A and B are shown apart, each in its own frame.
Chain A
Amino acid sequence: MLGELPYFAVVALAAIGLYIVVMKRNLIKIAMGITLIEAGANLFLITLAYNGGDRLSAPVFTSQIMRLGEGSSYSLPTPHALTLTSIVIGVATTALLLAFIMQVYRKFRISEADELRRLRG
């Protein structure tokens, strides 16, 4: 049960994020909701790095690790790389989104999604 705690956290983060994106009208809040979903996705990926050993260490492949003995290993390195990459992408998209929201505000003085509907139909 306790081992699955991260997954519950993932579901909670993603669900809260989606709730915000779907229900909240403020554009900044939508950006925050997206960041929350992203946090959920990153947590999910990093949780996958756990590969069941007792004494896990950071995924740095040193000869030291091999000497620690049976049952010890480093966690899977790939999910770390994935998470990192998705964080980088997240930074880029969030920055871009915030820039757009700011520009929209400067042009129209609108910060609510249900008022920002010039393009419709």
Chain B
Amino acid sequence: MSGDLIDNLPAVIVAIPLLFAFATPLIGKLSVKLSRLWALLGVVVTTALMYILGWEVLSGDAVVKSYVFGAGGDGLPLIGDNPARIAFSVDGMSAFMGLIMATVAFGAVIYSFSFVRKYSGNDKFFTLLLLMLAANFGMVFTGDLFNLFVWFEISSVAVCGLTAFRSNRGEAFEAAAKYLIYSTVAGLVFLFAIGLLYGQYGHLNINYLAGAIGGQEEMMMVDKIALGLMVTVFALKAGAVPIHMATPDAYSEAPAPITAMFVTASQAGLYAVFRVSFTLYGGNLDITGNLIHIAGWVLIILGILSMFVGVTMALVQKDIKRLMAYHAISQTGYMLLGVGVGLTVLGTGKFDEFGRTAMTGGIFHIFNHALYKGLLFLTAGALIYKAGTRDLNRMGGLGRDMKFTAIFFIIGALAISGIPPMNGFSSKLLIYESVFSFNPVIGAIAMLVSLLTLASFVKVFYAAFMGPRAKGMARGEVPTTMLLGMAVLAGMILVFTFAPALVVRTLVDPAVNALAGSTGRTDASLTLLTGQGYWNAIVFGGAMVLAVIITLMVRMLGNKGTTAKGEGKKPYLFGNSTEIDGRPIVIPGSNVYWGFTKALERYYRPVEKFHSGIVNEYVFWFVSTLGVVILAMVVL
């Protein structure tokens, strides 16, 4: 039975959240508390099964677990030449994504446990949460193009339903409506692409389709258009820049645990981009090489735009969740960039030189991003939970009560900014170095974006945690289960910080191999080779501890009598008092980078106009991007 279960796992992992999701409303009618526990049980079971499946797939070399619906596991039965059934196939990349999704969902559901207690409709919340989990798994496990569309839409519906969960806020409905319009139009465009490929080749199964596409004399126009359509659609789902506008809306309006899972839903879109460009079109590089190299350039350009526009928009936000949403977009740019570079040089000699490193970096970054972005969104949720406002200007002094949340936030912020030795640095280093070999300018942009990321998280930390207590902040730390959810993710970040090479070896390499059709893994050591140099987080961490000790010793040599007292501790305001009417003067968060934004006004004015909030214009930008990408695919 257990052996059978493992054969069935690809489908069962998708089905178990569905089973639990459909039962949750029924149980919720009996007792809301029971429904919460039930949903928790569902996610725990799913996560455990996912770990078993991940172990099965990732421990071996090029293992593909597939499951064919209703067919007793003997592969795809054929009618004529066409595979007749729907297949789920889990290779390295799928298992990698599945592990991320399961882990983040686990953290999110623990966090939700007390987070949603003060709202009504808990059973519906958990139903949609489980549905979203199932849809995410479905998107990464499916081996069938149309099935991908189905899960894409289920994911959109679940995500939008959850975005509108706080039904007392009109903005939540606005965000949900915009995201739904946006992703439905995208989904329909994807349906057209499926129709094109089906009409041309009569297949829907990705492997068969890849064989048919690679088996031609030369690329047809239909293939090029279909690739352009699919890349743009999934880039929209992933939130790449010219077509990202509804994503920050939905990210910022969704409840915090949902946003953490939303990140993985967007990453499922990223997965689909990679799956389409590598697996579907990478079957026979002699024929499709030119086309997917152009697709690689498309990904690189989308990646650069996402990185830069995302981070510069984040700098000027004053809504904490919207700020983090723009960061999510910015970080997505790194993944697109890394994998795009890998795609651009796929099949050439440069792939072994630096392309593989770039892909490793990009995919490793998916993993790191899911962890630290999930953590950051959860801390943002904790802040909003206590502060009762999302506005950074009205927060302040929360670090005095929320010590643990502050620590978790620092861990997440350091990781997202790529500060060594955090895990974000390991993947960014791989991206920096390989992209620098590819094109120095792009590498420099990638580093600049990291700097700006750090700058904006300094602003958040300053505005929310530091300073005097602002008016209307609730006292005390958040409930224990919320802390526990954050601790799960923060602990994983710390663990993976010090073993980047191990993660690359066990998780990322199988994923890269599954996409690029390459073989081999990095050596089993703690030192990560980047092609240009090497990186060992433990040595760095040791050096850092040493540096801290030396700094403390130097500090102890100092003069004790010179410590500032009284007014000497307060900020210098030209001699003026730092208090007005007994309340300390606080520089609001949105003024921290006033000079920067003022200096770049000529950049910010058009970019802010670009995010106009009008859904028609969003769709127009989507259609334009679609046109440009297809034109690039067809003409070049």
Contacts and interface: CB of A to CB of B under 8 A. Distances in A.
Interface of A: 14, 18, 21-25, 27, 30-31, 34, 37-38, 40-41, 44-45, 48, 76, 78-79, 82, 85-86, 89, 92-93, 96-97, 100-101, 103-104, 107-108, 113-114, 116-121
Interface in B169-208: 170-171, 173-178, 180-181, 184-185, 187-188, 191-192, 194-195, 198-199, 202, 204
A10 to B, nearest CB: 8
Contacts of B188: 34, 37-38, 40-41
30 contacts: A18-B623, A27-B177, A30-B615, A41-B188, A44-B195, A48-B198, A82-B204, A86-B149, A89-B154, A89-B187, A93-B180, A93-B184, A96-B180, A97-B177, A97-B181, A100-B173, A100-B176, A103-B170, A104-B173, A107-B170, A113-B614, A114-B616, A117-B614, A118-B171, A118-B174, A119-B171, A119-B248, A120-B613, A121-B608, A121-B613
Given A41-B192, A85-B150, A103-B164, A119 B249 contact: yes
Contacts of A22: 616, 619-620, 623
3 residue pairs, one from A and one from B, having the closest CB atoms: A117-B613, A120-B613, A107-B170
Interface of A is mostly: helix
B69 interface: no
B185 A45 contact: no
Contact of A14 (B146, B161, B192): B192
B177 A41 contact: no
Contact of A23 (B153, B185, B616): B616
Given A41-B191, A44-B195, A82-B146, A119 B613 contact: yes
B123 interface: no
B613 A93 contact: no
B149 A113 contact: no
B181 A34 contact: yes
Contacts of A30: 181, 615-616
Given A37-B185, A41-B191, A103 B146 contact: no
B175 A119 contact: yes
Given A21-B181, A96-B180, A119-B178, 7 more contacts: A30-B181, A44-B191, A45-B198, A48-B199, A113-B614, A118-B170, A121-B611
B156 interface: yes
B190 to A, nearest CB: 9
A101 B177 contact: yes
Nearest to A97: B180
Given A100-B176, A108-B170, A121-B608, A116 B615 contact: yes
Interface residues of B, number: 52
A40 B192 CA distance: 9
Listed residue (A21, A97, A108) with the most chain B CB atoms within 10 angstroms of its CB: A21
Nearest to B167: A103
Nearest to B84: A78
Contacts of A21: 181, 185, 616, 619
A120 B623 contact: no
Contacts of B180: 93, 96-97, 100
Given A21-B185, A93-B153, A96-B157, A78 B176 contact: no
Nearest to A14: B192
A120 B612 contact: yes
A22 B305 CA distance: 23
Contacts of B313: 121
Contacts of B91: none
Given A78-B204, A104-B170, A104-B173, A113 B615 contact: yes
A30 B246 CA distance: 15
A41 B195 contact: yes
B175 A45 contact: no
B110 interface: no
Contacts of B176: 100
A21 B164 CA distance: 22
A96 to B, nearest CB: 6
Contacts of B248: 119
A104 B174 contact: yes
Contacts of B153: 89, 92-93
A118 B611 CA distance: 11
A45 B195 contact: yes
B344 interface: no
Contacts of B616: 21-25, 30, 113-114
A44 B197 CA distance: 12
Nearest to A45: B195
A54 B519 CA distance: 50
A24 B192 CA distance: 23
Contacts of A44: 191-192, 195
Interface in B196-252: 198-199, 202, 204, 248-249, 252
A70 B156 CA distance: 46
Contact of A89 (B150, B253, B608): B150
A24 B185 CA distance: 15
A23 B617 CA distance: 9
B173 A103 contact: yes
B460 interface: no
B160 interface: yes
Contacts of B198: 45, 48, 78-79, 82
Interface in B307-323: 313, 316-317, 322
A22 to B, nearest CB: 5
A119 B181 contact: no
Nearest to A108: B170
A79 B185 CA distance: 20
Contacts of B194: 45, 82
A92 B155 CA distance: 12
Contacts of A40: 188, 192
Interface in B291-318: 313, 316-317
Nearest to A61: B79
Nearest to B614: A114
